[in-house]
Amino acid sequence: MCELLAMSANVPTDICFSFAGLMQRGGNTGPHKDGWGVTFYEGKGCRTFKDPQPSYDSEIARLVTNYPIKSEAVVCHIRQANAGPVCLENTHPFTRELWGRNFTYAHNGQLANFKELLTTESLSAIGSTDSEQAFCWILEKLRLEFGNERPSNDLLFPFIASLAEQINKLGVFNLILSDGDFIFAYCSNNLHWITRRAPFGPAKLIDADVAIDFKKETTDKDIVTVIATQPLTLNEKWQKMQAGDWHVFIHGEKLI
C-alpha cells in the first residue's frame, strides 16, 4: 500500500509542514520506502519532484521540506510497492496532458487483473504498475466520452467518480486526481481531509516532533484543505471519508 497527500488552497500556500510529516512514513515511522513524489501546480504549469529512494532519507525530499514552494494545488505520494518493481517510471504521481491541462494522478491500494483496464487508443503506460494502467484507462475514457473539449463540472466529476467505482471493483482504489484547478478524491477504504480557515490554531505532526501555529503563517482570508490517507496531525479533527465517497476541492473549499 501507499500513502496519499493532496492540498487545495485559495492562495499559493506551501506544503512543507504536511510534507515533513508524510516523509517520515517513507521508511521511518511507516513502511512506504519504495519511492515518493510530489507535484506542485502554478496555474496550468506543474513540476514534480520524485525519487525511487525512501523519502525519509532523500536529499531531494529535504529540499522540498525546507524550501517553501507556493502552490494552489499539490499531489503527493509515498510508495510501498506491490505491482511493479521499484524504479523511477513506477514512481507516482503520474502526469499526462488532457484538454490542454496537466492531469496529475496518484493511487493508494492495489488492483487485481488490472490488465482488464485496456487502452485501445494511442495512450500507453510507461511503467508496469496497476496504478499507471488505471490512469491511462481513465484518460482514455474521458477522451472517448467528452472528445477534445473539457466538459462542465456537472458532467465531468460524476463521470470520473463512475470510472473510479469501476476500477475499485478490481481491488482497493483510493484516488487523487488534479488538473491544477480541482482536486478530485475518491475513497475506496482510506482517505481523510481537513479544511483549515480563520480562526487558525496550532497543529502538531503525528510523525515528527514538529508543531506549527497556522495563525502566524496565514491571513484571515486563507482557506486550505489537506487530504491524506491517514490524519497527519494530533490535535485537529479530520473528516473520515467512507467507502465509495468522493469529493472535489477547488481553491481550498469542498465543491462537491
Task: Return the range that interacts with a copy of itself (CB under 8 A); candidates 5-13, 81-89, 195-203, 224-232.
Answer: 81-89
Instruction: Using alpha carbons, list the distances in angstroms from residue 26 to 63, 128, 129, 136, 194.
Output: 16, 21, 19, 26, 22
Of 2, 1, 8, nearest to 193 (Cα)?
8
Rule CB under 8 A: is residue 39 a binding residue for a copy of itself? Answer: no
Shortest approach of a copy of itself to residue 105 CB, angstroms?
13
Question: CA-CA distance, 134 to 127, in Å (whole number)?
Answer: 12
Question: What track of x and - describes contact with a copy of itself for positions 180 through 219 (by CB under 8 A)?
Answer: ----------------------------------------
Distance of CA 83 to the CA centre of its chain: 19
Largest alpha-carbon pair distance within the chain?
A: 52
Choice from 8, 102, 168, 233 touching a copy of itself (CB under 8 A): 102
Instruction: State yes or no: is 2 an active-site residue.
Output: yes
User: Applying CB under 8 A, what is the total number of residues that bind a copy of itself?
Assistant: 34
From 58-66, 109-117, 151-159, 170-178, span contacting a copy of itself (CB under 8 A): 58-66
- Retrieve residue 177's grid coordinates: 486526481
| By the rule CB under 8 A, 125 interacts with a copy of itself | yes
The torsion of the CA quartet 109, 113, 114, 115, rounded to 10 degrees, works out to: 160
Catalytic residue numbers, as ranges:
2
Residues that bind a copy of itself (CB under 8 A): 42-52, 59-60, 63, 67, 87-91, 96-97, 99-102, 122-127, 143, 148
